[in-house]
Amino acid sequence: MPMQIGIEDLLGMLVSRLEEVALETENQKSKFNVMFRVLYKKGLFNEQDAYEAIKDEHKILLELGAIKEMPDEKSLKAAADNLMLWIKGDTDAIKKSVEDARKRLQEAAEEQNKPKIDVAPAGVLNELDRLGAANNKKIIL
C-alpha cells in the first residue's frame, strides 16, 4: 500500500537532511584545516605545494570534463595564496580579502542597477524605418 506524505513533511525532511550535510561539510573542512596547519608547521607543506596541488586538481577536473578550460596562472596563484592565508591563520589578511571581495560585489551590483540604453545597429534601424514607411507610419524617431 502506497504511503502518502504531505508537502510540508517532505520539505521538512529535505531541509533536515540539508542541514546534516552542511554540518558534515563544516566538520570535514575543520579536519582538513587542522591537518594542513600541522603539516605546514612541521615544514611538510608550503606555498609551492599548495600551487601544484591546485594546478593538479584543475588538470583532473579538465580531463574529466568538469571544467571547460584550465584557469590561467594568475588565478591558480591567487587560489594558492588564499589557501595559504587560511592555513597560516593570517586573520588580518583573511578579513581584508573578504572585505575587498565584498566591495567588488557591491560595486558590481551597483553597476548592474545603473540604467542602460541599448542602441540597435544601423541595419536594424534602417529595416524598422523601411517597415514603417511601407505602412505609412514612422517607427523611428
pLDDT digits (tens, 9 = 90+) for 6-52: 889 889 999 999 999 999 999 999 999 999 999 999 999 999 999 99
Residue 16 C-alpha cell reads as 533536515
Q: What is the pLDDT of residue 135?
A: 66
Q: Which residue has the higher pLDDT, 72 or 119?
A: 72
Q: Is 135 helix (H, G, I), strand (E, B) or coil?
A: coil
Look at residue 3 and tell me whether its pLDDT is greater than 80: no
47-58 in b/e form (b: 16+ CB < 10 A) is eebbbeebbeeb
Neighbours of 83 (CB within 10 A): 17
Global model pTM greater than 0.85: no
| Beta-carbon contacts of residue 138 (< 8 Å; ≥ 6 apart) | 129, 132
Mean residue pLDDT across the chain: 88
DSSP string, 92-106: HHHHHHHHHHHHHHH
Poorest-confidence range of 14-23, 49-58, 80-89, 126-135?
A: 126-135
Poorest-confidence range of 21-25, 76-80, 95-99, 129-133?
A: 129-133
Q: What is the pLDDT of residue 1?
A: 63
Q: What is the pLDDT of residue 136?
A: 66
Distance CA 82, CA 90 (A): 10
